[in-house]
Amino acid sequence: MKSAEQSNVDAQYNLGVMYFHGRGVPQDYKEAAKWFVKSAEQGNAEAQYQLGATYRDGQGIPKNYREAVRWLSKSAEQGNVNAQNNLGGMYFHGEGVPRNYKEAVKWLLKSGEQGNADAQFRIGVMYYGGEGVPQDYQYSYMWLNLAVAQGNNSACELRDALAESLLPEQIAEGQRLSREWMKKKAK
C-alpha cells in the first residue's frame, strides 16, 4: 500500500485489483476505482482497461459510457486485447459513441487477431450478418471456428447452425481459412 501511496503506477493498479476482487482486503469497488484512476492517469494500460470496464459496468462509480470509451480507447491504443474487444463492442452497440460498425470491426479485428475468443466470435457474427464487413459465410465460419477452438460455446452454436446452411465445399473453405490463420499465428 505504501508504494501505491507513493505513486508507483504498478502498485496502484495492483491495489485496485485487490480491492476489486477482495483479495487480502474487503471488496470495495469504489476504492478499486480510486486506485485504477491513479494508475490509469499515469498511462498504465491495464488500469485504463479496468477503469473503462468499471465505468461501463458502473461498479464503484456511476455508469458512464463516454468515460468508458475514453479509457478503453487509451488502453486499446496501447495494444490491450481486452480493451480492444470491449471498445469494439461499444462501437457495435453504440454505447457512449454513435453506432459505427466500421470502427467496431477495426477494434475487434485487432483483438481477434491477437487471439481474443470473444472478439473472434463477434467478428464471426459481423461477417454472418454483413455488419461493417461484406457478408461472407466462409469468413464467418472461420472466425467462429477460431473462437470455438478456444472454448467459446456461443460461437459453437452459431458455427454449427451456419454449417447446416452451407455446402460442403464452403465448410471446407472456412476450415482451410481457420487452419491458415492458426499456422500464421503460430509463426
Q: Where are the domains of the chain?
A: 1-100, 115-187
pLDDT for res 103: 97
Per the CB < 8 A criterion, the answer to whether 55 and 67 are in contact is yes
Question: Which residues are CB-contacts of 9 (< 8 A; sequence separation ≥ 6)?
Answer: 39, 42, 43, 44, 47
CATH superfamily of 1-100: Tetratricopeptide repeat domain (1.25.40.10)
Question: Which residues are CB-contacts of 134 (< 8 A; sequence separation ≥ 6)?
Answer: none
pLDDT for res 1: 62
pLDDT for res 20: 95
Give the mean pLDDT of the chain. 94
Question: Which residues are CB-contacts of 153 (< 8 A; sequence separation ≥ 6)?
Answer: none
Q: What would the pLDDT profile of 108-148 be if each residue is shown by its tens digit?
A: 999 999 999 999 999 999 999 999 999 999 999 999 999 99
Average pLDDT estimate for 22-49 = 96
